[in-house]
Chains A and B, each alone.
Chain A
Amino acid sequence: MNKLERWKKKFHSLSKAQKIEFVLAMALTIAIIVGVPVYAWFVSSVRMEVLTKVKAPVTLDIKAGHKEDIEYLVLGEVDIEYIEKQSTPKRYVFCVNTGRVGVQYDIQLAHTTNIPFTYTLYKATEESSAEGADVIYLASDETTKYYYKKNGSALSMTTINADSENAAKYGRTLALQSGTVYDKTYDAAANDGVPEIYAVPLYSQVTVTAEYADFDYYILELGLDTNTARKFEKWNMADNNKETDVIYLSASFHSQ
């Protein structure tokens, strides 16, 4: 009661103007205090949010020489007589990219068997000069040249459908014939039986571990088993000089 009396006294001791000022200030303060929660009352909504991550896609790419688009990998014509005379096989460079070192992937080579080529795959490195280069790659600008050299021995590929028993008969390994295996691809029924033996591709695969996060280079070597070709009477080089083979190169992640 004492304090109250003191405050009362102090209040009364103020001049009239000061009293009014004091009352006004108190009223304004109260007005603000009341006003703020009233405003919050208006907003009757709830907002919530959460973050998640987008998983980056895994890359697996095959490209031509010097990481150029695959369309520049041109196999073109192969002059067999040139191979024979020069004893130099035809070579092509391509590369595979996985984006990470140490990733395992399978390279698959599938080819038809019209021509008695031998197919070998080597790892390769890009070199700075033409000296000792196995492949000279002409870039898409048709001017710049890049040089590749074989690195190490041939990769040991496993052919999964070789008809090795009849290799001597045809002068080369053909694919195993099997109507049940190939009838979906070649529609054996429509073609009066099984597909032509040279049209069925031979599938060879090898599992490789990525050496570079960037691109691993490879050289595909097409050779000619000349002895066999010459001796094999059923395959006449003159008759077959416009013969064509189809070659497929593919890469896929290796599943354990």
Chain B
Amino acid sequence: MFEKSLTDLIRGIRANKKNEQKYIAACLQEIHQEIKSNDPDIKAQAVSKLSYLQMIGYDMSWASFHVVEVMSSPKFSQKLTGYLAATQSFRQDTDVLMLTTNLLKKDLASGNHLEVGIALNGLSHIVTPDLARDLCQDLVSMLSHSRPYVRKKVVLVLYKLFLKFPEALRLSFPRLKERLDDSDPSVICAVVNVICELARKNPKNYLSLAPQLFKLLNTSSNNWMLIKIIKLFGALTPLEPRLAKKLLPPITQQIQTTSAMSLLYECIHTVIIGEMLTSGGNSDALAAMCVSKLKIFLEDPDQNLKYVGLLALSKILPAYPKLVAENRDIILKCIDDHDISIRLRALDLVVGMVNKKNLTDIVKRLMSHLLPSNNNNESSTLPSTLLEPAYRADIINRIIFICSQNSYSNILNFEWYIAVLVDLTYVAGVNVGELLTTQIMDVGVRVKSVRQYCVKAMQRLLSDSSLLENCQFPESNSEVLYAAAWITGEFCSYLETPTDAIGYFVQPGVTKLPHNVQAVYIQSVLKVYAYWANSLSYNWDEDSKQELLRFTEMIKDKISMFCSSTDLEVQERAYNAREIFSIIHQNLSTTHETTFDVENNIYSSTNKSPSIISELYPLFFSYELNPVAPKAQKKVPVPEGLDLDAWINEPLPESENSESEEEEESYGYGYTQKFGGSGDLIFSSGTAIGRRRDRKSSKKGYNSEEDEETKEKVTINSFCI
């Protein structure tokens, strides 16, 4: 006998920590031999070793047949080994299972209740539809076995049978029900267990058992079973409202008297989910009692009780927000708990508790979770989970959610919210750039009063070189620069020094930004430039002309850095912009709109700026961007006699298209009239934002000549690179 015993194997593994895999591989080799042995002891030992190796991740499905051999051993200890191996390794599709039917029948009929117990436990794991069908009768008759030890096991195994062979439920349910009156408490408990599981899937069918269960509720002192019964009633009462009335006295009794926190908790839980607070006569008193009992949970130093207390409150929240609000202070304290599980549960509640008054305070608390702690002692006690990206992202999502829910109805001060969003950009530490970008854009566009502040805040982001430097890391959230650039471009009239803003757009390093951000940068350069140049034209003189010339020259050079972008959109826009700047530059430097002042005998400039400058402005700012409700268009009645589908002019033949272009160019870029409300805050549900393009022009979809020209150049240039 040189075979390793299970103990030897375990010792060996522990002694070979460094080359564990190699050692186990060698052992498996031996097991392969041993398992074929004719000596049942060696075979059983091999199977036992395999079960151990299965636990640490080694497949043993190849040995299924040998497992069945060991299961059928007459020796009790070997039978135990065999059945254990089967429970650990057999699957529904294990083919040797069909060999086990007779074996199981034999073991179930054994005179030794312990052997029967092993077989029952084994069956609860390996049962298949076939086995369930074949053994159903045997098991049902075993419900009246003389030993409670067997009866309780049979009851539980029957549930597993029902899952595989639903027919068995119909056949055995009357017999199963009888067991509710069993003399042994463990058997009754097992039956209640099974009924609970069955009722979870189909509560209606078990309403008829209510009287019997009710009797148990009043007489039993087995807390484990009471918990199960009370949970079961929680599922039944919504189906049968009359039950609630009947249940209230015993449950109230339990709530008042029980010393077991688990039972107390389940009673309160059932009162909540069983909708008993709404059906009873003195529901206010009951609700108050539940809340005061839950308070005990929340105030308990035991973290577990605190946790389940919060869990229960979150279930009350949808129906009774006021009751939850009574515990606001405790809940807010739980947000700062050092235990992440409790924090998350408290956060769920907080999200439902937010109102106008406490929003800023709650957000402040949540934000503080994201900040590194100033106090060194404090930081060492914080669990590392707080620094985990998933947790941080969760916090940020919740902040945004509570602020933006119901169309921002909880926010009183939007400047504060913009400041929060900007702060989040810096402290997030996880990639939430997309979310922040949408929020900033949404608020910036929808809330007129905040625009000035928003533009200012965006300047801070744009000028921050650290965002640019770290833009290749997603957690730097440099994506918000998209919003920053867009807001700056669109609302550039709020800029104090537009030239500075343009400077930010073309500062070194911006070409490292994501392509979609770069594209917005270029467009924004144009927009701010158009605005600034136009504002110069009001006090047009030689100085401003020189300034414009110099600046245009500079910007034309700077914008070239985007021209070599690998992204086609960026490249196209860059060439577009550069072309526009060079046209303006050329125009400024060649046209000398000067007149001879006869009186003073000198040449002086006129006060009129070149038309090209004033023409650039309407390109971007003809009409203000306003929020438009998605259904707004439908609300405008179509004037009588207007057929929107009729052509205004007959469509032109293809060949003449080019000639007509010039003539129709005037509305090629046009935006329609300001549309929708002009209120400061327009918050219809799901407001969309947009400029309506002229219906007719977009239908035809042509470009202005200028565009066409640039496009050609772009194509040429991009091929030259």
Is this pair of chains taken from one and the same complex?
no
Q: List residues of chain A with CB under 8 Å of any chain B CB.
A: none
